[in-house]
Structure 1
């Protein structure tokens, strides 16, 4: 099986669309099994993060005698290296293939997480967390690219969304299990068990078919990175809605006198998981201007609803609408990225695109926090809504200008016309014309 990610402008060998059966994505059995294996391996590796989240803050403030600021650096530091490592991971994906990058990323995650057991100082622990980010960035980038490669073009959106599903499922299950491990086994054994999870995931990859395609002569990453600019910017702006729900909604609702405000976060998380699980049964890939603009408009409405909600049910409904936008826009915009570049640069493009959502969450927290502190929560919600309005317009424009599979009109890299247009009828007509001329 060739590892090219078929579908999109200027590519060949696109897998024909096939009907879906019983809501299952239209993937041949072996390929569907391969996607599931990559999904399972990524989830198992991500347990290195999920199992340690609930206990790391206590380890920093207790065993290492740190303060709240130290907790912030330890808990958030890995996201910086995860973002920065994605473009480099993308370049490696295009050169050595996803199997090698994914295995290497998992190895780094195992070493970094196991290293917590010997981190007797804050600098050592922070160094391990930064190394974890490098491994995590490579792992998630490679898993995304590989699952997209295994899925046919019409199911690329579904495949991209699976990585987000890994995140929410593992965080939901890993946190209570991690606390249980600490209570019964202690800190060091918990670190070692968490570090072993990525290593146990590596053998699963042996059963996944695929071979590396060497980069085409003269291939450069610049075009791939440029292809991520518009969809990535739209995704970064859309992430302001996530920042509202996770970081600011509970405080704003509590000050408004709405009790049980944490249910907003729970409702958001459950909605995200439900939407991603149902993704394989939804025929639309939400990459049309109307569909993509619609889900982001729903997210905008959700933010405004949370900002004005007088009671908890309306606030939870707002959080669900934000989840609709985030759950569908990330894979849809990623699919537009995949369609905008040739096979040899798709790894670089998708890896770089994945960094935009992290940038958007960080920027959203920073900007919205400043606005809330200086002008109040109402201004904060309106700022987030403005960002989402811009995201909606930009995403719809990007969808409008991106060719769907099978609709490309431009030349291939080799300089010849798209082979899909060289139909037998066209060839026969050309021969007839040539005969008449003779």
Structure 2
């Protein structure tokens, strides 16, 4: 009887976490829809080079960087609900601007400008929704379920892109780019209605709230490891379609789907390992696995090997965020948990923001064949960071 009660309690808190993580799904589904379409649209349809394409896509993550800090402040003071409402409004506006950009493809500069603004709005929406559902879930089920909340949020995040990226390509081919814009707007509207109908929650703490930059400093060692690991994902998400095009291969979106599928599988299977083994160790092992995947992509002779490499990369990257995230949250007081998650999330935004123009520069100067070896070197640098973190943990 007791065993059944415990099972019911476990299922209950997981369901509650999932009910908040679905908001992440709505947000990142809208991002995933255009993920594999925009680089080709900018490069081939509008005629701009890979650096411009990477910079426009990367501007989204730079905007996310600035909005994370604001989102963390809102969450700690007013709760996660207002932040997520703002994010869904941004995704609705993004869909409208995407429609305007696709409709003006005959005017490349105008279309690029509209896309640039749409990426900034997407970045604003991503910054607001990024860690807010995690905080909302933790407020609902308790801090003891932090690792599960982070993991579930990532599952909904990347499963949304695993569905959204190939769906966006199919819609572009069979219906036209306008359909991507329309669905982006509709999903943003669904997310807004869902958020408005949820009960607002916020933390009550007598502890002093530290400045955001003070919190940022405390999570920086963990965030640095995350940022270096994120370069692999940033390269795949931004450049895999151009890489396939360079190789003369088709169906690049399958790589994003396999990456995301293995990412989700890793989160489901390995979430409990963080509390058992330790966040830093799990992050270190994960980056080593991610490195193997990038190594395969770097020297893949066929699309099939590239797909396997993307899948292994997704499995490796899957546990980096929650593993180092748990350690980052532990470093903050209860009054600064929202700011800590927001500050920690900044590092993945930095990673994805610079990976576009940086890897685009590598592609332009040295050729497409060098982009994944370059990413591999940076991820291995993240392994070194984790080794130092583990040594520091032992010494303390």
In the alignment, which residue of structure 1 is the partner of 2:61?
Answer: 79
Answer yes or no: is 1:137 the counterpart of 2:127: yes
Contact 2:273 2:282 in 1 (8 A): no
> Which residues of 2 match residues 39-188 of structure 1 at below 5 A?
39-53=21-35, 66-68=46-48, 75-117=57-99, 121-122=110-111, 123-153=113-143, 155-175=145-165, 177-178=167-168
3-state SS of paired residue (1:210): coil
In the alignment, which residue of structure 2 is the partner of 1:293?
Answer: 284
Give the CA deviation at 1:335: 1.1
Q: In 2, Cα distance between the equivalents of 1:245 and 1:197?
A: 25
Q: In 2, Cα distance between the equivalents of 1:71 and 1:221?
A: 32
Q: In 1, Cα distance between the equivalents of 2:294 and 2:189?
A: 40
In the alignment, which residue of structure 2 is the partner of 1:419?
Answer: none
Unaligned residue ranges in structure 1 (runs of 5+): 1-17, 404-408, 410-438
Cα root mean square deviation, aligned: 4.3
Contact 1:238 1:296 in 2 (8 A): yes
**Closer, same or farther: CA 99–19 of 1 in aligned 2, 3 Å:** farther
Give the CA deviation at 1:338: 0.7
Structure with the larger helix share = 2
Contact 2:36 2:237 in 1 (8 A): no
**Closer, same or farther: CA 171–388 of 1 in aligned 2, 3 Å:** closer
Residues 305-350 of structure 1 deviation map (CA, whole Å, 9 limit, x = unaligned): 4445566666554433322321011111111111110111121121
Give the CA deviation at 1:117: 4.8
Unaligned residue ranges in structure 2 (runs of 5+): 105-109
Answer with 1 or 2: which has the greater Rg.
1
Choose from 377, 380, 383 the match for 1:389: 380
TM-score, normalised via structure 2 length: 0.76
Residues 207-249 of structure 1 deviation map (CA, whole Å, 9 limit, x = unaligned): 4563343674463223211122111111111123334545677
Of residues 209-218 and 333-342 in structure 1, the stretch that sits farther from structure 2 once superposed is 209-218
Residues 125-158 of structure 1 deviation map (CA, whole Å, 9 limit, x = unaligned): 5334322321221112312332344455454233
Of residues 351-360 and 268-277 in structure 1, the stretch that sits farther from structure 2 once superposed is 268-277
Contact 1:302 1:320 in 2 (8 A): yes
Residues 153-199 of structure 1 deviation map (CA, whole Å, 9 limit, x = unaligned): 45423322333333332233334555676789876676354323223
Q: In 2, Cα distance between the equivalents of 1:58 and 1:371?
A: 18
Contact 2:58 2:356 in 1 (8 A): no
Q: In 1, Cα distance between the equivalents of 2:373 and 2:97?
A: 44
Q: In 2, Cα distance between the equivalents of 1:73 and 1:99?
A: 31
Q: In 1, Cα distance between the equivalents of 2:185 and 2:249?
A: 39
> Which residues of 2 match residues 320-359 of structure 1 at below 5 A?
320-359=311-350
Give the CA deviation at 1:107: 2.2
Contact 1:267 1:319 in 2 (8 A): yes
Give the CA deviation at 1:371: 5.0
Answer yes or no: is 1:195 the counterpart of 2:175: no
Q: In 1, Cα distance between the equivalents of 2:127 and 2:249?
A: 38
Residues 91-127 of structure 1 deviation map (CA, whole Å, 9 limit, x = unaligned): 2211111112112222232234335456664344533
Q: In 2, Cα distance between the equivalents of 1:314 and 1:218?
A: 49
> Number of residues paired by the alignment?
381
Q: In 2, Cα distance between the equivalents of 1:151 and 1:286?
A: 23
> Which residues of 2 match residues 29-44 of structure 1 at below 5 A?
29=12, 31-44=13-26
**Closer, same or farther: CA 153–19 of 1 in aligned 2, 3 Å:** farther
Residues 373-415 of structure 1 deviation map (CA, whole Å, 9 limit, x = unaligned): 6567887655444433331132243356569xxxxx9xxxxxx
Q: In 2, Cα distance between the equivalents of 1:196 and 1:117?
A: 13
TM-score, normalised via structure 1 length: 0.70
Q: In 2, Cα distance between the equivalents of 1:241 and 1:77?
A: 18
Q: In 1, Cα distance between the equivalents of 2:382 and 2:270?
A: 22
Q: In 2, Cα distance between the equivalents of 1:303 and 1:244?
A: 10
